[in-house]
Amino acid sequence: MTDIRQRLGLDAGAPPLVALHGIDKVFPGVIANKNVSLEVFPGEIHALLGENGAGKSTLMNVLTGIYQPEAGEIHVGGYARVFTAPQDAIAAGIGMVHQHFKLVKAFTVAENVHLGWADTPARIHRSVLEQRTADLSHKLGLAVDPGATVDDLSTGEQQRVEILRVLSRDAKVLILDEPTAVLTPAEAQELFVALRAFVARGNAVIFISHKLDEVLEIADRITILRQGRKVATEWAEACTERSLAQKMVGREIVLSDMRTRTEGVAGPGAPVLTLDGVTLKGRLTDVSLQLRAGEILGVAGVAGNGQRELCQVLTGLATPDKGRVLLDGDDIAPLGPRKVAALGVGHIPEDRLGSGLAPALSVTDNTVLREYRQPPVSRGPWYMPRAARALAEKIAAIAEVMVPDFAMPVRNLSGGNQQRLVARREMRIASRVLVAAYPSRGLDVGAINTMMRYFTELRDQGVAVVLVSEELEELLNLSDRIAVMFHGQIMGVVEGEQADIDEIGLMMGGQRGPQAEVAA
Partner 1 sequence: MRLKLQRLHSAPPWKAFAARVLSVLLALAVTALMMAMAGIDPIDLAAQVLSATFGSSFGLEDLGLLFSPLLFTGLAVAVGLRIGAWNIGAEGQFNIGALCAAGIALFVPGPDWALLPAMIAAGALGGALWILVPTLARAYADVSELITTLLLNFVALLLVYYVATGPWLDPSGRALATTARLPVRLPEVWGIVHWGLPIALGLAVVLAVIFSVTRWGYEVRMAGSNAGSARYAGMPVRRHLIAVMLLSGALAGLGGVMEVAGTVGRLQGGISNNYGYLGIMVAVLARAAPLGVIASAFLMAVILNGGIVMQTQGLTTNTVLAMTGLILLFAAIGDELAHYRLRRLEGRN
- Minimum CB distance to partner 1, residue 385 (Å): 6
- Minimum CB distance to partner 1, residue 114 (Å): 28
236 makes contact with partner 1 (CB under 8 A): no
Instruction: Considering the complex, state which of residue 160 and residue 389 has its C-beta at the smaller distance from partner 1.
Output: 389
Q: Which of residues 71-100 bind partner 1 (CB under 8 A)?
A: 71
Instruction: Considering the complex, state which of residue 339 and residue 512 has its C-beta at the smaller distance from partner 1.
Output: 339
Q: Which of residues 159-178 bind partner 1 (CB under 8 A)?
A: none
End-to-end CA distance of the chain: 64
Cα separation, 55 vs 489, in Å, equals 40
Handedness of CA 78, 81, 87, 89 (dihedral sign): positive
Cα separation, 430 vs 453, in Å, equals 15
Give the list of residues 6+ apart from residue 44 with CB closer than 8 angstroms, or none. 8, 199, 204, 205, 220, 221
Q: How many residues bind partner 1 (CB under 8 A)?
A: 41
Q: What number of residues does the chain have?
A: 520
Instruction: Considering the complex, state which of residue 337 and residue 513 has its C-beta at the smaller distance from partner 1.
Output: 337
**Contact characters 13-32, partner 1, x per CB under 8 A:** -------------xxx----
Q: Which of 145, 25, 159, 10 is nearest to 99 (CA)?
A: 159
- Minimum CB distance to partner 1, residue 418 (Å): 12
Instruction: Considering the complex, state which of residue 230 and residue 347 has its C-beta at the smaller distance from partner 1.
Output: 347
Say if residues 92 and 128 touch (Cβ distance below 8 Å).
no
Cα separation, 438 vs 432, in Å, equals 20
Among the residue ranges 38-46, 156-164, 407-415, 476-484, the one whose residues contact partner 1 (CB under 8 A): 407-415
337 makes contact with partner 1 (CB under 8 A): yes
Q: Which of residues 340-399 bind partner 1 (CB under 8 A)?
A: 340-341, 347, 349, 351, 354-361, 365-366, 369-370, 372-373, 378, 381-385
Q: Which of residues 32-71 bind partner 1 (CB under 8 A)?
A: 68, 70-71
411 makes contact with partner 1 (CB under 8 A): yes
Cα→Cα distances 366→219, 380, 407, 409, 412, Å: 39, 20, 10, 9, 12
Cα separation, 333 vs 294, in Å, equals 22
Determine phi and psi for 38, rounding to 5 degrees. Answer: -160, 135
Instruction: Considering the complex, state which of residue 61 and residue 159 has its C-beta at the smaller distance from partner 1.
Output: 61
- Minimum CB distance to partner 1, residue 382 (Å): 6
- DSSP letter at 296? E
317 makes contact with partner 1 (CB under 8 A): yes
Cα separation, 165 vs 490, in Å, equals 36
- Minimum CB distance to partner 1, residue 395 (Å): 15
Using only the alpha carbons of the chain, give its radius of gyration: 24
Instruction: Considering the complex, state which of residue 187 and residue 371 has its C-beta at the smaller distance from partner 1.
Output: 371
Say if residues 478 and 456 touch (Cβ distance below 8 Å).
yes
Cα separation, 197 vs 481, in Å, equals 39
Instruction: Considering the complex, state which of residue 165 and residue 347 has its C-beta at the smaller distance from partner 1.
Output: 347
Q: Which residues bind partner 1 (CB under 8 A)?
A: 26-28, 68, 70-71, 316-317, 336-341, 347, 349, 351, 354-361, 365-366, 369-370, 372-373, 378, 381-385, 408-409, 411-412
